[in-house]
A = this chain, B = another copy of it.
Amino acid sequence: MVSKAFQPVPASEIPDEISGLRMTRQRQHIYRILLQHRDHPTANDVFMRIKDTLPNLSLATVYTCLDAMVKHGIIRQVNFDRGPSRFCPNLAEHGHFHDVTTGIIHDVKFKSGIHLEDVLDLPPGAIIKNVEFTLRGQLS
């Protein structure tokens, strides 16, 4: 059984606007790709996957569209070390487990009821706007 949780917006019907960002044809296609293949693709991966359906899409446009969607909180940008940025439409607070043997990236959530202040020694007065964490390892 395939979980519906991974298709919150049917790929075929993406609205004309999301969180104040006009969803142009290019942006709709890009967003659709992110919703369909949730494997944290790079900008170039996205570009390659769209090329056939939008032959004169520019890689620069993929970059600016992804950036616009990140700025509007529609998708998230994830960086592993110095590698190329990757993108995912999973907006829930989560981090990533990078399986070094397969290269697959799994989303990782906090256990329910866990809050950062409870587990970290934060500088006094710290107001956290954004959290990112990455684990590297392998599945036994």
Q: Which residues of A contact B (CB under 8 A)?
A: 77, 79, 81-82, 85, 95, 97, 100, 106, 108-111, 114, 116, 118-140
Q: With A and B bound together, what is the CA distance between A137 and B106 in angstroms?
A: 25
Q: Give the chain B neighbours of A127 by CB distance below 8 A.
A: 137-140
On whether the beta carbons of A108 and B136 are closer than 8 Å, the reply is no
Q: Work out how many copies of this chain go into the complex.
A: 2
Q: Identify whether the interface residues of A are mostly helix, strand, loop, or mixed.
A: strand
- CB-nearest residue of chain B to A78: B81
On whether the beta carbons of B133 and A131 are closer than 8 Å, the reply is yes
Q: Give the chain B neighbours of A97 by CB distance below 8 A.
A: 122-123, 126, 128
How many Å from the CB of A109 to the closest CB on chain B?
A: 5
Q: What are 24 contact pairs spanning A and B, CB under 8 A?
A: A97-B123, A108-B120, A108-B122, A108-B123, A109-B120, A111-B118, A111-B120, A114-B119, A116-B135, A118-B119, A119-B119, A124-B139, A125-B140, A127-B137, A127-B138, A128-B135, A129-B137, A130-B135, A130-B137, A131-B133, A131-B134, A131-B135, A132-B136, A133-B133
